[in-house]
Amino acid sequence: MYGVCGCCGALRPRYKRLVDNIFPEDPEDGLVKTNMEKLTFYALSAPEKLDRIGAYLSERLIRDVGRHRYGYVCIAMEALDQLLMACHCQSINLFVESFLKMVAKLLESEKPNLQILGTNSFVKFANIEEDTPSYHRSYDFFVSRFSEMCHSGHEDLEIKTKIRMSGIKGLQGVVRKTVNDELQANIWDPQHMDKIVPSLLFNLQHVEEAESRSPSPLQAPEKEKENPAELAERCLRELLGRAAFGNIKNAIKPVLVHLDNHSLWEPKVFAIRCFKIIMYSIQQLLSHLDANSRSAATVRAGIVEVLSEAAVIAATGSVGPTVLEMFNTLLRQLRLSIDYALTGSYDGAISLGTKIIKEHEERMFQEAVIKTIGSFASTLPTYQRSEVILFIMSKVPLPSLHHPMEMGRTGENRNRLTQIMLLKSLLQVSTGFQCNNMMSALPSNFLDRLLSTALMEDAEIRLFVLEILISFIDRHGNRHKFSTISTLSDISVLKLKVDKCSRQDTIFMKKHSQQLYRHIYLSCKEETNIQKHYEALYGLLALISIELANEEVVVDLIRLVLAVQDVAQVNEENLPVYNRCALYALGAAYLNLISQLTTVPAFCQHIREVIESRKKEAPYMLPEDVFVERPRLSQNVDGVVIELLFRQSNISEVLGGSGYNADRLCLPYIPQLTDEDRLSKRKSIGETISLQVEVESRNSPEKEERVPAEEITYETLKKAIVDSVAVEEQERERRRQVVEKFQKAPFEEIAAHCGARASLLQSKLNQIFEITIRPPPSPSGTITAAYGQPQSHSIPVYEMKFPDLSPWDPSPSLSPFELFLRGC
């Protein structure tokens, strides 16, 4: 019966007759539109026939493909597209299955035109929003086939480009169709992402191949549209833009694997381009850096430089924990690199199968990490950069007697290298740091740790500390103007940017000025200083004078520089000739600067007179002869005449007449003794005893004298405030004398002194015990002892008779013993 119906067209089903009618006799005539409209109307009127229409169209298309009748194949696909766009009924799922079957048949063909035709139909289908869900539809074949088309290696370059473009469009269609439908296959599964992402990256990577052709100007716009690299980039951006937080890892991991497999970290150009596209996925790149911690240094350096480029873009949207996690990862990699460079292997021990590490490659990686830290921190707001600064400083290892230094292959200890690298990182972060409040820029806990490293024996570490302090204090860009030390006759040529010291800066200097002065003074006395150290010290002194100075700070800085001059003159530290000449030159340059900043004519005149005298008689005491490539020094710097020195008495006299504190200027600067010295150097027994004696001498009853009450007036308060500084200096001088006495005095004298103190203490204790234990005096009076001194007559408490009218008016409820205690 069915065979007879097939032979006789009038007896065939209506849907088959409608389908047959859309095909013309000549395929070049194209789809018969009127018959297509009839077929569409029939499909809408009888939706239950839609699946049969699709199956029949599929049957005809497969037959035509086998017979190479490609014109009819195109007509069949056009008819399927129109039916698909027009019908949205519940039976469309069965029709879609036939449609996808025909698309798969075209994609399997070896003909590029059929592959492109099938892809275009699939892209149209992907843009349709279906009314009914599908529970059993699978796109595995399409992901695999489109990914394969993205890697097309056709001989014809133009055809290859079209196939790759179709593959990228097909992957984009798969993503659009499945990404927002929870009932569809999960496109974010690793099995799909491992095909989609590398296919897109492959076309991104071969952008230069597409650009190697030089099209004519008329064809240029069309060729630009057909560029697979641009389309792949748009598709990758769309893919990552649709990724949720839980899916981004599966999308980023194939990128990292692709870069690893094709060794694309070392040139790093393509890797940077990729992570500029996925710039908000910094966390995945950090994890990949940890996973490759034992890779070659060049590979790790490439990852870090890619991170540097991407981090700058992502920094504006970062939050606290993310920022600190990034810096923590980078600092951890820095420590690992130091270990690798010291041990020479990734395992800590060299064996036959161990890969030998090249130190210069590790150095290159370390510099890349430091650069990345600086570039990322430069984009952070001030409050986040302050947190990063504190975080890095907390990682700097400080010297301790209880933790011996570990030695490496090159003879450098691990702690020293770690200190240098972290201080370099800190210098990168602090460069360009702008903070109006120095209390916020240099908090106490940070400043204490930073200055504790300023007294280390390592000259390189000390130099980094000075540079970091300069970066924090320089808020007006004056640092480069003090890069060379000189005695300019007119500093107006420097065009310094000077601002008035704020109240917050004044509070900061009141709290930390003595600590800063002390470290500057001790840094000047270091024997291993070179020209860079003196230039940094000069810059630090100059910037403090410009940024943080008031009248009190100016006075203290002048006293400090004069004390440095005394160090060079007395030479108790046995400094080399160059260091002594450098200290003389440093003092001359700074006093020349501060004299012109204070604009006191007599002060400027005294400084210029001494400088002119040095130019004539001792040029080796000026920076122009000392801080040059070949210093011109004198072998004898001991016999310096007083005319060549800056005299404290003259300076205090001329500045005192201009309103400065002359009494404070007359006092020599003496650095304070802090707990830091007790940690950095072992104190002698004499110093320890001197501190005990100092405490005893303060609290000794022999020193106590009754002073008549003084009337408190405005003048009294003013005098107390003015004299407090002088009293503090005198007290400090007295302490120094006590310490010096116990350091230089013979042991017998110290022992005798301590014995006398012990006897005195015992006698005072006996007096206290006698007063405490002795019974109370009798109310009846006293009796006289043998030597005419009154002696109390002791009466037991229970026999004592208290008067009825007592001066303290006791309460009747109190017992006699309580009344006795009140009387005492």
Instruction: Over range 111-140, report the average pLDDT.
Output: 79
User: How much of the chain exceeds pLDDT 70, in percent?
Assistant: 75
Residue 334 to residue 403: CA distance in whole angstroms: 21
The closest alpha carbon to 302, from 346, 364, 248, 356, belongs to 364
Nearest C-alpha neighbor of 594 from the set 651, 650, 667: 651
Q: Which of 151-160, 350-359, 688-697 has the lowest mean pLDDT?
A: 688-697
List, in order, residues 6 or more apart from 539 with CB less than 8 Å away: 466, 470, 479, 482, 483
pLDDT score recorded for residue 416: 83
Which residues have a Cβ under 8 Å from the Cβ of 124 and sit 6 or more positions away? 81, 84, 85
For residue 556 the two structure tokens come to: 């203290």
* CA dihedral for 382, 384, 386, 392, sign (positive or negative): negative
Percent of all residues in the chain with a pLDDT value above 90, rounded to a whole number: 14
Q: Which two tokens stand for residue 584?
A: 């003389």
Q: What's the confidence (pLDDT) of residue 745?
A: 75
- pLDDT category of residue 463 using cuts at 50, 70 and 90: very high
Calculate the alpha carbon distances from 329 to 25, 279, 613 in Å. Answer: 71, 17, 58
pLDDT at 335 over 50: yes
Q: Is the pLDDT of residue 129 over 90?
A: no
The more confident residue out of 775 and 691 is 775
What per-residue confidence (pLDDT) applies to 11?
A: 61
Cα pseudo-dihedral 100, 105, 108, 114, rounded to 10: -100
pLDDT: which is higher, 106 or 2: 106
**Mean local confidence (pLDDT), 543-555:** 89
pLDDT over 80 (residue 346): no
Name the residue among 354, 335, 341 with its Cα closest to residue 425. 335
Identify which has the larger pLDDT, 797 or 679.
797
Residues 147-180: tens digit of each pLDDT: 999 988 888 888 888 999 999 999 988 888 877 6
- Decide if 33 contacts 77 (C-beta within 8 A): no
Half-sphere exposure of 138 (CA within 13 A, CB side): 4
φ and ψ of 253, to 5 deg: -60, -45
Instruction: Give the confidence band of 712 by pLDDT, cuts at 50, 70, 90.
Output: low
| pLDDT above 80 for 725 | no
Of 64-68, 229-233, 540-544, 551-555, the poorest mean pLDDT is in 64-68
The residues pairing with 791 across neighbouring beta strands, listed in sequence order, are 783
Strand partners, 782: 792
Hey, CA dihedral for 381, 387, 389, 392, is it positive or negative?
negative
Please say if the pLDDT value at position 738 is more than 70. yes
Higher pLDDT, 188 or 538: 538
Report the alpha-carbon distance of residue 615 to residue 625 in Å, rounded.
10
What is residue 790's DSSP assignment? Answer: E
* Amino acid (one-letter) located at 742: F
CA–CA dist 599, 584 (Å, integer): 23
Q: Are strands 782-784 and 790-792 parallel, antiparallel or unpaired?
A: antiparallel
Long-range Cβ contact pairs of 417-421 (< 8 A, separation 24 or more): 417/338, 417/341, 417/342, 418/334, 418/335, 418/338, 419/453, 419/456, 419/458, 419/461, 420/460, 420/461, 420/464, 421/334, 421/338, 421/366, 421/370
405 neighbors 344 (Cβ within 8 angstroms)? no
Rounded Cα–Cα distance for residues 299 and 302 (Å): 5
The mean per-residue pLDDT over the stretch 547-565 comes to 90
Say which residue, 60 or 606, is predicted with more confidence. 606
625 three-class SS: helix
For residue range 60-76, what is the model confidence (pLDDT) as tens digits? Answer: 888 888 788 878 888 88
Q: What is the rounded CA–CA span in Å between residue 660 and residue 313?
A: 52
Answer yes or no: are the C-beta atoms of 590 and 561 closer than 8 Å: yes
Dump pLDDT digits (tens) for 359-376: 788 888 888 888 888 888
Q: Rounded to whole angstroms, what are the CA distances from 332 to 339, 342, 391, 757?
A: 11, 16, 13, 56
> What is the rounded average pLDDT of the residues 293-305?
83
Residue 428, both tokens: 């990168």
Residues 567-578: pLDDT tens digits?
Answer: 999 888 889 999
* pLDDT of the residue at 590: 93
The mean pLDDT of the chain is: 76
Query: What stretches of 46-88 show up as alpha helix (H) in DSSP?
Result: 50-66, 70-86
DSSP 502: P
Model confidence band, residue 563 (pLDDT cutoffs 50, 70, 90): very high
Residues 642 and 611: their CA atoms lie apart, in Å, by 13
Q: Residue 793 contacts by C-beta under 8 Å, 6 or more apart in sequence? A: 777, 778, 780, 781, 782, 783
What per-residue confidence (pLDDT) applies to 464?
Answer: 92
Nearest one of 33, 134, 24, 132 to 87, comparing CA atoms: 132
Q: Which of 643, 628, 742, 603 is nearest to 685 (CA)?
A: 742
Tell me what pLDDT residue 157 has: 87
Question: What is the per-residue pLDDT across 233-283, written as a single tens digit (0 to 9) for each?
Answer: 888 888 877 776 667 778 888 988 888 888 888 877 888 888 777 765 556
- Say which range, 220-224, 260-264, 290-294, 345-349, has the weakest mean pLDDT: 220-224
